[in-house]
Amino acid sequence: MISGICGGPIEQFVPWRFNFWIQLLFGGAVQLIHFFTVPETRATIMLDKQAKKRRKRDVSDNVYGPNELRPFKERFAFKEIVETMWRPYYMLVTEPIVLFLSLLSGFSDALIFSKQLSSISCPV
């Protein structure tokens, strides 16, 4: 709804390069609202926080969260990172729906951006 109301005047009266700054402003505002209003829901992080509170409250309490016992290098092994980074490319090659939807997305982006570039007048 906001884009329909704001988009027309922005497109008509503001230079096209300013659109990126407007998007950055809106994106930053949404991220800040999200950061301060949406609570953490990941179970391991919630358990880590709860364990820290219990240890702080009672020093003799021997409670640790799931991420506190394993060192950083064990949690993020190089092999696991490579497997995770390779998975989308593997799916692109082996899953036809992923390939076709990626081609469709790329084609529609190309149409959108070629239309925008053709409407920009460059002084020669």
124, part of any domain:
no
- The number of folded domains in the chain is 3
Its domain, for residue 4, covers 1-38
Q: What is the pLDDT of residue 124?
A: 53
As a whole number of Å, the end-to-end CA separation of the chain is 38
Residue 35 phi, psi (nearest 5): -60, -40
Residue 32 sits in the same domain as residue 9: yes
Residue 34 sits in the same domain as residue 44: no
Please name the residues in contact with 52: beta carbons below 8 A apart, sequence gap of 6 or more: 65
- What's the pLDDT tens digit per position in 25-70? 989 999 999 999 999 999 989 999 999 999 888 877 788 888 888 7
* Exposure string over 80-102, b if 16+ CB within 10 A, otherwise e: eeeeeeeeeeeeeeeeeeeeeee
Residue 43 sits in the same domain as residue 66: yes
Residue 95 sits in the same domain as residue 115: yes
Q: What is the pLDDT of residue 116?
A: 60
Is the pLDDT at 108 greater than 80? The verdict is: yes
SS3 label, residue 50: helix
Residue 86 sits in the same domain as residue 104: yes
84, part of any domain:
yes
